[in-house]
């Protein structure tokens, strides 16, 4: 533990299946998925759910104060813990926009929040639990690239500060994984490339192709 891993590739189904295996939603047909050297099938489900937290692209928020949405299911959670999680999720800067701060009711399904704010609220809810493994399944899709980079950098720094968390970031956007410690590129169910951003660009392979295509599409959108 204590690293960030980005998973990218053109096949969405394969990536979704992979993270489903990591969360023990499905079991492998052969082989084993290990967590700290332990087969996931041998770990009690309650223990696994406490240590492995999964954040989806589609957020599930309730018509209650922001504080309640972040602390939901986490037991006794102090405001200091909530603020720390919000800071890591880059949500604290949005508080002045909310009429009652943490006590602002966000509405059913987070109706009063933007798409990016919803996703960052879901991320803060995951981080307040301080999981050993954090899985983000395209959970930054509605967050702008600059903020995404800040969040990933924060996850890397907090892992280095002793929290010893492994963050697995699955994304369709290269920008969301660019600053990960390790990037895994999947294609047709196989790992075709591994390395950090600069190493993969230098190889001029599938990662570089997808990255430069994304840059070009962003430039065309601006134009």
The answer to whether 132 and 1 have CB atoms below 8 angstroms apart is: yes
| List of E strands, the chain | 3-8, 34-35, 38-39, 52-55, 133-137, 166-170, 182-187, 190-195
Q: Which residue carries 């490339």 as its tokens?
A: 193
What phi and psi values does residue 41 have, to the nearest 5 degrees?
-70, -15
Euclidean distance between CA atoms 170 and 175, whole angstroms: 11
> How does DSSP assign 134-193, residue by residue?
EEEESTTTTS-HHHHHHHHHHHHHHIIIII--EEEEE-S-HHHHTT-SEEEEEETTEEEE
pLDDT at 20: 78
Euclidean distance between CA atoms 119 and 2, whole angstroms: 23
pLDDT at 185: 92
pLDDT at 159: 59
pLDDT at 13: 62
- Within 13 Å and on the Cβ side, how many CA atoms surround 16? 8
CA of 7: how far to CAs of 34, 93, 177, in Å? 18, 28, 7
Euclidean distance between CA atoms 127 and 35, whole angstroms: 19
Q: Which of 56, 38, 66 is nearest to 119 (CA)?
A: 56
* pLDDT tens by residue, the chain, 223 residues: 468 888 888 766 666 677 778 777 778 888 888 877 888 888 888 888 888 888 888 888 888 899 999 998 777 888 899 999 999 999 998 888 888 888 888 878 888 888 889 999 999 999 998 888 898 988 888 888 888 888 888 887 775 555 678 888 888 888 788 888 899 998 887 889 999 999 999 999 999 999 999 888 878 777 6
pTM score, whole prediction: 0.84
Helix axis angle, 79-88 relative to 115-127, nearest 10°?
130
């Amino acid at each position: 533990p204590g690293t960030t891993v980005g998973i990218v590739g053109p096949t969405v189904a394969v990536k979704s299946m992979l993270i489903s295996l990591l969360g023990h939603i499905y079991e492998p047909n052969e082989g084993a998925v290990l967590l700290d050297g332990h087969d996931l099938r041998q770990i009690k489900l309650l223990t696994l759910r406490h240590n492995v937290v999964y954040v989806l692209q589609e957020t599930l928020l309730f018509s209650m104060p922001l504080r309640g949405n972040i602390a939901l299911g986490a037991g006794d959670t102090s405001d200091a813990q909530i603020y720390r999680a919000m800071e890591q999720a880059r949500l604290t800067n949005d508080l002045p926009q909310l009429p009652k701060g943490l006590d602002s009711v966000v509405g059913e399904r987070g109706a009063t929040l933007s798409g990016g704010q919803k996703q960052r609220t879901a991320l803060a809810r995951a981080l307040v639990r301080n999981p050993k493994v954090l899985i983000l399944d395209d959970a930054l899709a509605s967050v702008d690239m600059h903020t995404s980079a800040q969040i990933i950098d924060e996850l890397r720094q907090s892992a280095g500060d002793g929290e010893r968390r492994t963050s697995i970031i699955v994304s369709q956007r290269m920008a969301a994984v660019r600053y990960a410690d390790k990037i895994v590129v999947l294609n047709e169910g196989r790992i075709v490339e591994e390395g950090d951003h600069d190493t993969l660009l230098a190889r001029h392979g599938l990662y570089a192709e997808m990255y430069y295509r994304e840059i070009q599409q962003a430039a065309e959108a601006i134009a």
